Structure 1
Amino acid sequence: MSHPLSRRTILRGAGAVLALPLLEAMIPSQAFLRSAAAAVLHTSKAAAPARMMFVFLPNGVEPTAWSQTLESVLAPQAGSFSVMRGLCHRNAEAQLDGPGDHARSAACFLTGVHPKKTSGGDITAGVSVDQVAARALSGRTQFDSLELGGESTMTAGDCDSGYSCAYSANISWRGPQTPSGKDHEPRVLFERLFAVGDAREDVRARAERIALRKSILDALSPSTAALRARIGENDRRKIDEYMEGVRELEKRIETAERFANSPTSMQASTGIVIPQGNPPSYTARIDLLADLAALALQTDRTRVVTLMLANEGSNRSFPELGVADGHHEVSHHGNHADKKEKFAKINRWQVERFARLMATLQKPDADGVPILDSTMLLLGGAITDGNRHNHDDLPIVLAGGKSLGFQHTGEHLSSAGTPLCNLYVSMLNRVGVQGDRFGDSTGALKMGG
């Protein structure tokens, strides 16, 4: 009778470490379960851990096109998501503080707290829902949480009518005065997830690998061979598929880096300075970050992730969509048809990124169950109509979580004015945080289960 493989088994090599997805070899066998006291402590199938991921949508939406966009883009995922109606964030409203809806909405989005109006160092918001979950799950994974975004973090300056840039550029807050920051370069995130940096020789090996464009998998060949000798055919096939996925991500990052540093790149033709390792295509950058997040969830490197599609108030243009105007500019369309159309195109692009992530998380684990079933995946923001800056009936989509008790019928209608924090309470309950209070919640939102 053999002992099951530890869920924390990793492959190690010079300058590299790779966590593994859930394998059949990690699930206790019936014989093992009948031995000693194991039968009392385990079931024949280990329950998948509860996970959560928040995808932030800045600048609101074009409301006349939003429902149709959701319906058309998310149609292939029917039965796996709910469009949440009636939820609000009252603490994103002015409350006598005047202009600054963008900064307030980002700071309030995951905290439910009205931020202090300041552009100085005395920023004050609240602990965000992702960090409450991360604390509850602390120690169970290598990273308590991951914070990602397409644009860099800012912690100082005035970005919105007297509000600090720290509010606009962060949705995750470890404490009322401490935004979590975020990774925005796919290469940096890849190396953080898979490279060993404890010893000097590992740092040197990693630098050489990157310079020579070698694969992280090359350094892991000996430990991979040893693992394959211990596992069955199904697990070997799963390991092969998993490593093909890792290598594909490496190649995409390498391609992006080569393009970014090429004299024929967009950088040369436009004069835009692109940081080393950041794809000049914003779509490629967001998709790489999302794929790395999915891989981190799949391998149980973390169970909590936030991803900002852009900073709140971002005025980024989208040439790949034929939108040369800035995002923030077209969100204030003034009911001009051409700007509304451009704004709707950006919204559709945002939903397409979310749908792609959903599809990635539909991949099954060792039990044949989609990872999405144990992952609460939320898309949304704290501004509804980008032109009006209102904070009621927010654009929120909740996907996944089937094995955690969430039932999806396509739409979930709450009474007008129901705090978004009520949904957060329900999500926190699923990861073991008991109680019915978070932010301005009035209780837990009921969604089955």
Structure 2
Amino acid sequence: MPAPRLDRRTFLRSAGVAIALPFMDAMIPAGASEARKAMTQPPRMVLVGQPLGMYAPNFFPEQAGRKYEPSRYLKALQPLRDQFTVFSGMSHRYAAGHFAEVGLLTGVAPEFIRERDIKNGISLDQEVASHVGNQTRFSSLVLGGGDVAWNRRGVRIPAEQRATQVFKKLFIAGTPEEMSREVQRVRDGRSILDDVGGQIKSLNGKVSSNDRQRLDLFLSSVREAEQHLQQDEHWSTTPKPKLEYKTPTSDFGGPELLQRSRQWYDIVHLALQTDSTRVVSLFLGTQERPEIDGVNIGHHDASHHGQDPAKLEQLALIEEAEVKVFGEFLTKLKASTEGDHTLLERTAVFYASNLGNSSSHDNHNLPVLLAGGAFKHQGHVAFDRENNMLLSNLFVRMLHHMNIEAKSFGASTGVIGEV
């Protein structure tokens, strides 16, 4: 007897809860052609921005090609070595200054991104959303903070800065009273999955062992996200330590850098698994002191090191930990499957900063890493670190991954062929 088929938009439902399921084999129509299967496993894109750069000697390998010796930071990503490419010698060629953050994902010509004179264009995430956004509940998610998402008129799109609000949008539905009740349940340490336990048990009895494993992994991700939200509630009411450095003024980040990064990555993972959106921009970072052994100064202070060895070591500890958390996210994507592919294979994950050298506010030779997706990864692709390759040329290649036949984007002069 053939196994029952599931609709791609199957939900677990109760009063106040509506949880979309991840893609499972039971959602592929019986006898579907390879072309139809490919349509049910759509490509995605995640763009991750860091505001304070990455210290180049610790980020870039010395050798180019697939056989490079991993740098200090890249050692954490070596289990995924064949599924990402690091690029050196890339930038938008903007003048020095933090103001270039606004052009990180738009890549418009340098004359349009000048201090006190910004004439921006559409960002890469919104360009993708304009083509595929109508296929999902959310055309895109703009998360974390920063000024990196822009519409076609060059108007900034504000980021959602509270993970609790995004979690509520993804999983909690109903009347205001029902939504309030479910949020309180999460805060009190009770899972929203408790209300749909019977449906989960029934579903497990109808699907294959492979689908049960996918469902178990997905439900574990939901519980992990809930736990991080509970921690978020705890930290929001916990007094911050008093330290001997200037009080940060940043309006993004959170109470603890790594915890908050994991929280956002969990939300992004769940949004992709449930096909709630196919494009996400996430801007991470904080100027505060992260809770990392050996670090006793703020991230911003460490990034403006002036080649001071003590500050450089503390900066290395911070950035090394950031890359490790990013690697955890990639590993989760790899563990999540859709038909014959992993979610990492379906998702182009871009990780970069608008600063190449935060100590001097230099915007050349940016730290750029591209993981997953339909790319032929090359290890380390090294362009001229003095006469940089335009980052927008890589953006054109990323649009092609999303099945968008673009000839240009931003100030591009062509398309990267290396991957």
| Distance apart, 1:440 and its partner CA | 0.8
Give the 3 Å change call, closer, same or farther, for CA 58–223 of structure 1 in structure 2.
same
Instruction: Select 1:359's aligned residue among 324, 331, 339.
Output: 331
Q: Does residue 103 in structure 1 map to residue 99 in structure 2?
A: yes
Q: Does residue 410 in structure 1 map to residue 379 in structure 2?
A: yes
Q: Does residue 298 in structure 1 map to residue 273 in structure 2?
A: yes
Partner of 1:439: 410
State the AA in 2 paired with 1:394: L
Conserved? CA contact 2:41–2:338, under 8 Å: no
Partner of 1:241: 217
Q: Distance in 1 between matches of 2:210 and 2:353?
A: 41
Give the gaps of 5 or more residues in structure 2: 61-70
Partner of 1:137: 132
Partner of 1:344: 316
Structure 1 stretch 428-437 or stretch 319-328: which is displaced more?
Answer: 319-328
Q: Could you tell me the TM-score, scaled by structure 1's length?
A: 0.80
Map Cα deviations across residues 75-120 of structure 1 (whole Å, 9 max, x no partner): 2211111111221212x216xxxxxx1122x1110011333543xx
Give the 3 Å change call, closer, same or farther, for CA 74–211 of structure 1 in structure 2.
closer
Conserved? CA contact 2:4–2:207, under 8 Å: no
Map Cα deviations across residues 157-188 of structure 1 (whole Å, 9 max, x no partner): xxxxxxxxxxxx22111244422222233322
Give the gaps of 5 or more residues in structure 1: 34-38, 95-100, 154-168
Q: Distance in 1 between matches of 2:119 and 2:302?
A: 30
Instruction: Select 1:66's aligned residue among 59, 63, 86.
Output: 59
| Identity in percent | 31
Conserved? CA contact 1:88–1:419, under 8 Å: yes
Give the 3 Å change call, closer, same or farther, for CA 270–337 of structure 1 in structure 2.
closer
Q: Distance in 2 between matches of 1:259 and 1:61?
A: 27
Instruction: Select 1:190's aligned residue among 167, 184, 205.
Output: 167
Conserved? CA contact 2:59–2:72, under 8 Å: yes
Structure 1 stretch 20-29 or stretch 344-353: which is displaced more?
Answer: 344-353
Partner of 1:159: none
SS in 2 for 1:53: strand
State the AA in 2 paired with 1:66: F
Partner of 2:292: 320
SS in 2 for 1:425: helix
| Distance apart, 1:306 and its partner CA | 1.4
| Distance apart, 1:61 and its partner CA | 2.6
1:418-429 alignment, distance < 5 Å: 418-429=389-400
Conserved? CA contact 1:317–1:324, under 8 Å: yes
Conserved? CA contact 2:142–2:159, under 8 Å: yes
Map Cα deviations across residues 274-332 of structure 1 (whole Å, 9 max, x no partner): xxxx974321111011111011112211111112122xxx5322242433323233222
Partner of 2:65: none
1:21-100 alignment, distance < 5 Å: 21-30=22-31, 33=32, 42-43=35-36, 48-67=41-60, 68-90=71-93, 92-93=94-95
Q: Distance in 1 between matches of 2:346 and 2:130?
A: 19
Partner of 1:254: 230
Q: Distance in 2 between matches of 1:378 and 1:42?
A: 27
Partner of 1:232: 208
Q: Distance in 2 between matches of 1:208 and 1:64?
A: 46
Q: Distance in 2 between matches of 1:17 and 1:302?
A: 16
Q: Distance in 1 between matches of 2:134 and 2:305?
A: 47
SS in 1 for 2:143: strand
Conserved? CA contact 1:374–1:400, under 8 Å: yes
1:190-209 alignment, distance < 5 Å: 190-197=167-174, 199-207=175-183, 209=185
Partner of 2:149: 172
State the AA in 2 paired with 1:257: E
Partner of 1:157: none
Partner of 1:216: 192
Q: Could you tell me the TM-score, scaled by structure 2's length?
A: 0.85
SS in 2 for 1:178: coil
| Distance apart, 1:204 and its partner CA | 4.7
Q: Distance in 2 between matches of 1:225 and 1:321?
A: 43
Structure 1 stretch 288-297 or stretch 45-54: which is displaced more?
Answer: 45-54
State the AA in 2 paired with 1:74: L
Q: Distance in 2 between matches of 1:138 and 1:224?
A: 29
Conserved? CA contact 1:259–1:279, under 8 Å: no
Conserved? CA contact 1:327–1:343, under 8 Å: yes
| Distance apart, 1:408 and its partner CA | 1.2
Give the 3 Å change call, closer, same or farther, for CA 343–432 of structure 1 in structure 2.
same
State the AA in 2 paired with 1:297: L
